[in-house]
Amino acid sequence: MNGPIEGKVLTAQALEAVLDISPDALLVVAADGTVAAANAPASRLFGIPEDNLAGLDHRSLLAGDFREDIRKLFRRLLARPDLHPAPVQTYCLHRTGTEFPAELTASFLPGAGRQRSDTGQLLLSVRSTAHHSSAAPRREAMALLAATLESTADGILVVDSDWNITGYNEKFLAMWGIPEGLLEGPRDITENPQTEVMQLVLDQLHDPLQFMARLGDLESNPAAESHDVLEFKDGRTIERYSRPHRSGDEILGRVWSFQDITPRRQAQERANRAMADLAAQTEKLRGMAFRDPLTGLANRAVFNDALAEALRSPRLKSVDVLLLDLDDFKEVNDILGHQAGDDMLIEVARRLRGCAPTADVVARLGGDEFVVLLTACPNADEIATCMVRCLRVPLTVGGTVLRPSLSLGLASMTSEDQQAPELLRRADIAMYAAKAAGKNRFLRFQPDMMTELVQRTAMESGLLRATEHGEISVDFQPIVSCQRGQVVTFEALARWDRDGGRVPPSVFIPLAERTGLISGIGTEVTGRAMLRVAGWLAGDPSRSLAVNVSGVQLQEHDFAEQVLRLAEASGVAPYQLVIEVTESVFFDADCSLVKQLSTLREAGARVALDDFGTGYSSLGRLQELPVDTVKIDKSFVSMIRTGRERLPILSSMINMAHSLGLTVTAEGIETIEQANYLAALECDSMQGYLFSRPEPGHRLHVALSQADEVLRALKEQ
């Protein structure tokens, strides 16, 4: 039907000739919709005489649902006369009122005036398709389709069984950005994919090949339904449904519906992301709840659960708890800083895990305390030994080489009905015993450790009584000047005689420090010592009295004041006092501590750094400390055996101290060789059993004469 009249102005005669010869029903419709002319086949088809057809509104020849379609087509053709729309499936109305299916093809007949404004006419060719199918269901299907096209929010495309486009809606055009009118004219959307429309479609897709493949599948299988998702290059996601267009058993073609699910997909993606975030956070929180964040080990809660579980389990032959605590960790933290402390803990955790790969739990309980749970482990003792040994391997932290050590208590399940707290308490007691026995070791819990614990508690109350009743006494040990060859100082040392025996200061002083009794003891010792040696001090202003002072005492804001008051009361000049402190007091030196020491120094007292060399501090650090004297610890002195060995550490300590303007006292001198060696290094003073053991106050003269005797002997060599 396309072609012969295209673009040309038909004369009235030519038109009449066309009407006469055409076997198809032809209607010429004017711009106002009235039928201008019709031919004989048209008259037959509609059951209306030719003459009666002219002047009728063409819509009266169409079934109600389809009237608007033709009008739309007309309008489109008026706007673009060059279009050749695809045949329209429609229903026409016979004079008798029966509807019949027909295929309508429209062509534009331009007006004679050749003006754009000069309205032309529409040539409608109507071909009944009633013979193809039983009319009623097909009509229904077509009507339904037309209604659907109008009402749906989806983009709809309908093709007939030959894949010619027979319908679509505005939404479809908008969705694919297809210009109005481009779909007019018969187009087979599969056979000719290069057509403008297909190209337009394919250009927008991420995966045009898949799109084409799906079309191919459906073409070969007209009854198939399909559902897929199209990803557009502009980020949109469009869902595509396709199902056969049926009328009863007959397949009329295919309906495609397109739904823009971009917002839905974006919402889904946001929801998925939120869910993933939430899951990650939950995982992290769970991790935090069960793991020690610093070392990655389990935490106390995990250990407690695992231990309780292990003790409940009747099958287990053995349950061992290894409780361990780093030795002197506080010093690492205080001197080298918290970062170094953290690094050390991380490394310790690594080593512990390495020693106990089969452990049920290796946990950090907090601070420098760790615990290991072993179940059904045949060699708990070996693992404990391994831990103690492995920890001793030096490690470098912040440029400083450290040799960590730990005290470990091991307790094992002894009866079926043992409770977790009891087992832990035993491990704790064993660990405490390991510390008391000199650290850097492991001890297995023994029942008599309980007794020791009880004794320790008893000792605490005993010490309290002793302090209250003035039962703490003082011994004095002389310190000699190498240069002057005489006793220049007495060091006051606290003594506690209990139940006829003597409790060593190394036991009761730490106890006193822990319980706070040390202040009372310190005042007692200082006061008594001053009274005892005041006379001796008065004999020579260069003589002095040394007293040991704990860090705990220096925390007191009136400590210096108290000491000076005691000195005044006993008639001792402040410049004749030496305050002995260990370097640990400077670890977390607060203002008060520095103030106490400087008040005393301003009054003339000197400060001696006791046990020098045993801590973590370096020689270099000496410079910063407010001290006048260093006391080299006896462990260094004991390295001198023959007196002929080379001990550079001793000479450098002495030289260093001297270069900083400090005097040096060596402690623990027990042999002539040691005394000679140190004298040769120009050590200023010496103290030790060689000269005299600490003696009670009433035997000061004994201590003095002994020391003098040794000094004379040394001189005479």
The site for Ca ion (CB under 5 A) is made up of 548, 580, 610-611, 667
563 binds ligand C2E (CB under 6 A): no
Residue 96 CB neighbour total at 10 angstroms: 7
Q: What is the C-alpha to C-alpha distance for residues 370 and 444, in angstroms, rounded to an integer?
A: 16
For residue 503, the minimal CB distance to ligand C2E (Å) is 10
When the beta carbons of 63 and 607 are compared against Ca ion, the nearer one is: 607
668 binds ligand C2E (CB under 6 A): yes
634 binds ligand C2E (CB under 6 A): yes
When the beta carbons of 164 and 663 are compared against Ca ion, the nearer one is: 663
For residue 645, the minimal CB distance to ligand C2E (Å) is 19
For residue 300, the minimal CB distance to Ca ion (Å) is 38
- Give the interface segment with ligand C2E, choosing from 28-36, 255-263, 274-282, 667-675 (CB under 6 A): 667-675
Q: What is the C-alpha to C-alpha distance for residues 712 and 715, in angstroms, rounded to an integer?
A: 5
- Give the interface segment with ligand C2E, choosing from 334-342, 401-409, 505-513, 590-598 (CB under 6 A): 505-513
When the beta carbons of 204 and 467 are compared against ligand C2E, the nearer one is: 467
For residue 631, the minimal CB distance to ligand C2E (Å) is 7
For residue 508, the minimal CB distance to ligand C2E (Å) is 9
Q: Which of 392, 405, 422, 433 is nearest to 321 (CA)?
A: 422
695 binds ligand C2E (CB under 6 A): no
Residue 440 CB neighbour total at 10 angstroms: 19
Among 154, 368, 611, 695, binds ligand C2E (CB under 6 A): 611
No. of H helices and E strands in the chain? 24, 27
State the amino acid at position 284 in one-letter form: K
Among 517, 554, 694, 707, binds ligand C2E (CB under 6 A): 694
Q: What is the C-alpha to C-alpha distance for residues 90 and 63, in angstroms, rounded to an integer?
A: 8
For residue 479, the minimal CB distance to Ca ion (Å) is 10
- Give the interface segment with ligand C2E, choosing from 72-80, 256-264, 425-433, 501-509 (CB under 6 A): 501-509
Residues in Cβ contact with 189 at an 8 Å cutoff, skipping those fewer than 6 apart: 159, 163, 165, 195, 197, 198, 215
Among 105, 128, 247, 550, binds ligand C2E (CB under 6 A): 550
509 binds ligand C2E (CB under 6 A): yes
Residues in Cβ contact with 338 at an 8 Å cutoff, skipping those fewer than 6 apart: none
Q: What are phi and psi of 479, to 5 degrees?
A: -120, 130
Are 695 and 477 contacting, i.e. CB atoms less than 8 angstroms apart? yes
When the beta carbons of 548 and 629 are compared against ligand C2E, the nearer one is: 548
Contact partner at residue 684 from ligand C2E, Ca ion, none, CB < 5 to 8 Å by partner kind: none
Tokens of 307: 């231990």
Q: What is the C-alpha to C-alpha distance for residues 655 and 57, in angstroms, rounded to an integer?
A: 127
489 binds ligand C2E (CB under 6 A): no
596 binds ligand C2E (CB under 6 A): no
Are 409 and 418 contacting, i.e. CB atoms less than 8 angstroms apart? no
- CA angle (311, 448, 427) in 5-degree steps: 35
Tokens of 336: 């080298």
State the amino acid at position 453 in one-letter form: L
Tell me what percent of the chain is helix, strand and coil, each rounded to the nearest 5.
45, 25, 30
Q: How many residues bind ligand C2E (CB under 6 A)?
A: 24
**Which residues of the shown chain bind ligand C2E in the complex (CB under 6 A)?**
477, 493-494, 504-506, 509, 522, 525, 548-550, 580, 610-611, 634, 667-670, 687-689, 694
